[in-house]
Amino acid sequence: MKPLFIANWKQYVSVGRSAALARAIIADKNRGAATVILAPSFLAIADVVGAIKHARARNIFVAAQDCGFTDEGAYTGAVSPRELHKAGVSHVIIGHSERRANYAEDNQLLAKKVVTAREAGLKVIYCVGETKEERNEGRVAEVVRDQLRLVKKMVDIIAYEPRWAIGTGLSIAPHEAEQIHTIIAKEVGDRAQICYGGSVNEKNIRSFVTAANTDGVLVGSASTSSKSCAAMFKQLSVIARV
């Protein structure tokens, strides 16, 4: 199976730049080495979906970076999973550590989002991962299992993202990611795919993608330029040829 390449553009890529970046990725000659999922900001979703449709591109999908836990109602500011699905979104990232940390989203709330998103027809990319402190205390497996407890039968892709490795340039050693992926695989069986996220770039992408129990990567800052995406697709195409 082709590796998953999930591009999380966070709040980095403006609406103006999103369609151009999507077009560059769609046109990349090595893109076919991966199954690509682009996660633009909510405001850029329509343009990115439009760019994919216009190019009639295959094996490239659109994810929302988050969603509400209901489809409609008195929830100011929330975005309905059902409306996202209607807008051409196929996946949604739920439980990203930036949502957990900055918006106090806990496992109970995240489980509600997972249920609603699935009912709306979205595939769920669920993020788990420990803080540096939890790692130092030897609690990684416990933390990850706890984050998975309520949702493990309902998610399609699990992204293991050690919090301290996100946006810091400090990626974990691939063999350490592999250990956690193996723990996750024991929890979920073959119901879900498993990706690594946290400071993935053109230099380390191959070692993550080829690790055991690893189906792909979730890439943040390195996915926000067409040049570094091209460099990463090139690396993936080398694996595809081997």
Residue in the shown chain whose Cβ atom is closest to ligand PGA: 220
What spatial distance separates the first Cα and last Cα of the chain, rounded to whole Å? Answer: 14
Among 8, 116, 193, 204, binds ligand PGA (CB under 6 A): 8
- Annotated catalytic residue within 98, 105, 130, 161: 161
Please choose, from the candidates 95, 114, 70, the residue with its C-alpha nearest in 3D space to the C-alpha of residue 218: 95
Judged by CB under 6 A, which stretch of 50-58, 79-87, 145-153, 161-169 contacts ligand PGA? 161-169
Asked if residue 221 binds ligand PGA (CB under 6 A), the reply is yes
Give me the 167-206 binding string for ligand PGA, x by CB under 6 A, dash otherwise.
x-----------------------------xxxx------
Judged by CB under 6 A, which stretch of 15-23, 174-182, 214-222, 233-241 contacts ligand PGA? 214-222
96 part of the active site: yes
Asked if residue 220 binds ligand PGA (CB under 6 A), the reply is yes
Asked if residue 129 binds ligand PGA (CB under 6 A), the reply is no
161 part of the active site: yes
Q: How far is the CB of 86 from ligand PGA (least distance, A)?
A: 26
Q: Which residues bind ligand PGA (CB under 6 A)?
A: 8, 161, 166-167, 197-200, 218-222
Q: Which residues are catalytic?
A: 96, 161
